[in-house]
Chain A
Amino acid sequence: EVQFVESGGGLVQPGGSLRLSCAASGFTFSNHAMHWVRRVPGKGPMWVSRIYGEGSSGNYADSVKGRFTISRDNAWNTLYLQMNSLRAEDTAVYYCTRDLDYVFDYWGQGTLVTVSS
């Protein structure tokens, strides 16, 4: 069974940093690109970032480019999102999702990030 467990969320001050983790199981992790998607309660989801299976490069939404970095450790089946220079508008639940040719076929339950002073 494909499963994801996100962790690392919490309360952080504006300008601060957080690193999210997503532990994957139930499939060959290195065979799949992975994404981070976030959702502000009451609003639609927003795609944040994608990384290829081998971890060679990532793509980012314009609103996070230059502040967030996606990475992965295929030996540990774990996806990461390093978030720097956090802003109030980054407050959201962050989900890791698996890529299936331009589709998000499995999602985690998310981890809440709150940026507030």
Chain B
Amino acid sequence: QSALTQPRSVSGSPGQSVIISCTGTSSDVGGYNYVSWYQNHPGKAPKLMIYDVTKRPSGVPDRFSGSKSGNTASLTISGLQAEDEAEYFCCSYAASYSWVFGGGTELTVL
């Protein structure tokens, strides 16, 4: 079982919005603003989509946004597109130079 809890799967139609949650504890998600989100297509290297809870690396569409409330972080994908179909996993710094991850969420674009 992963340290951070994510839903196994979410789905949405093109143009809709989906939210993926990532729940931890006060020792990780709730304690630090170092939550990041990654997109993972089969056979490819994971890609950083959101870091420091809300920041987007250059080149990531602004349809992707991040937020946090207490011990739960969220990734929102607006205006869903077919190419967004992938696995998404979250990560948080957890003190003493260690990091914890979520189990991953499969996004299906219907």
Q: What residue in chain A is nearest B48 (Cβ atoms)?
A: A105
List A20-63 residues whose CB lies under 8 Å from chain B: 35, 37, 43-47, 50, 59, 61
A75-106 interface bits toward B, Cβ cutoff 8 Å, 1 = contact, 0 = none: 00000000000000000000100001011111
How far apart are B34's CB and chain A's nearest CB, in angstroms? Answer: 4
Residues of A in contact (CB 8 Å), total 22
Overall SS of chain B's interface: loop
Verify A45–B89 contact, CB threshold 8 A.
yes
Of B38, B43, B99, most buried by chain A (CB within 10 Å of CB) is B99
A46 and B98 in contact, given A105-B48, A109-B45 (Cβ under 8 angstroms) = no
Whole-angstrom CA separation of A110 from B46 in the bound complex:
10
Besides A44-B4, A44-B104, A110-B45, 17 more A-B contacts (Cβ < 8 Å) are A4-B45, A44-B2, A44-B6, A44-B103, A45-B89, A46-B101, A47-B100, A59-B97, A59-B98, A102-B32, A102-B34, A103-B52, A104-B36, A104-B46, A105-B48, A105-B57, A108-B45
A105 and B44 in contact, given A43-B103, A44-B101, A47-B101 (Cβ under 8 angstroms) = no
Whole-angstrom CA separation of A110 from B45 in the bound complex:
8
Q: Which residues of A contact B (CB under 8 A)?
A: 4, 35, 37, 43-47, 50, 59, 61, 95, 100, 102-110
Q: What residue in chain A is nearest B6 (Cβ atoms)?
A: A44
Contacts of B73 in A (CB 8 A): none
Contacts of B102 in A (CB 8 A): 44
- B75: interface (CB < 8 Å): no
Contacts of A110 in B (CB 8 A): 45
Verify B44–A109 contact, CB threshold 8 A.
yes
Q: What residue in chain A is nearest B90 (Cβ atoms)?
A: A44
